[in-house]
Structure 1
């Protein structure tokens, strides 16, 4: 668990189901293009419960780690950060992140993401972290750069959006210092 200002970053638990479902419902439109799996698997409360059980189970196999950023003042979920596409042979992993629209643009996610990056290197022992984002996602690009990630290149035709469009992604990487 990481705590800063009035926020904490902690593993997502099944007890977060109602708050997590609300976060997705409220931000569904913003998330639909680049969080295809999440949006498609959380259409109903029941679907979301099944989805959470599945992703929480994956952490026991060290395949996936879902975290939330929580406001300690009101216990709202401010955002979500996950560790995915883990390759323990290197070891490296991809980070993903989204923020509730009411908390976006306030520097909370930037601070959380930077702290979380350090945590991933130190706690999990990753040698490299990376993230992929679309060229239109300026917030994610700024987030990556503030956390010390550097552009390593563009991956052509690397992601299929909810609308079925296959798009290029900018690849950012950061090596453990």
Structure 2
């Protein structure tokens, strides 16, 4: 376990998470299809989810990408996923991506998760720079960055293209290890 707060816990992805991830993705697919289309398509059935989880566990163990689950500590229900992706071990940098179940949005759980995982990344994953890249109209994600002391760096022109849409400019925020 990486962290606990408010009856929730953060854990690294493990092989037993496939069914819960499939259920989470299917239940929240309308919310996730714009910003998580690849993760969504890889988790539409339990079989696909098991392949996804096997791949993510391997990437975690190889320190290529880190996927964490946010679960209710008592019921074990999966309520969110938090990635540290685009890991570059040479420059010691990684990028957060996260999603939360619609029943738990607006409760500060992702803000607390990013705080805990930022500390973990600096102490245990040997990263010195963490990024959040967000669409400016995604106010919740902008708040996550601001509430965790990430600093706005710049606008990234045409950085992300949702399926069937024109490219979007995205905002880059960064947090640095202040050791």
- TM-score band by shorter chain is over 0.9
Which blocks of at least 5 consecutive residues in structure 2 are unaligned?
Answer: none
CA contact 1:24–1:42 (8 Å) conserved in 2: yes
Cα-to-partner distance string for 1:73-98 (whole Å, 9 max, x where unaligned): 21111111111101111111111111
CA contact 2:13–2:56 (8 Å) conserved in 1: no
* 1:1-177 matches, cutoff 5 A: 1-177=2-178
Shift of 1:45: 2.1
Alpha-carbon separation, structure 1, partners of 2:142 and 2:165: 23
Report the TM-score, using the length of structure 1 for normalisation: 0.95
Cα-to-partner distance string for 1:75-126 (whole Å, 9 max, x where unaligned): 1111111111011111111111111111111122211221111111111121
Alpha-carbon separation, structure 1, partners of 2:167 and 2:44: 23
Which sits farther off after the overlay, 42-51 or 77-86? 42-51
Which blocks of at least 5 consecutive residues in structure 1 are unaligned?
Answer: none
Cα-to-partner distance string for 1:119-162 (whole Å, 9 max, x where unaligned): 11111121110011112211110011101101101101111212
CA contact 1:33–1:163 (8 Å) conserved in 2: no
Alpha-carbon separation, structure 2, partners of 1:47 and 1:165: 29
Which sits farther off after the overlay, 116-125 or 143-152? 116-125
Cα-to-partner distance string for 1:2-56 (whole Å, 9 max, x where unaligned): 1223111100112111111111111111011111210122222222221111122
Report the aligned-residue RMSD.
Answer: 1.2
Alpha-carbon separation, structure 1, partners of 2:132 and 2:111: 14
Deviant stretches of 4+, over 4 Å: none
**Aligned residues, how many?**
177
Alpha-carbon separation, structure 1, partners of 2:45 and 2:165: 22
SS of equivalent residue, structure 1 residue 10: strand
Shift of 1:164: 4.8
Report the TM-score, using the length of structure 2 for normalisation: 0.94
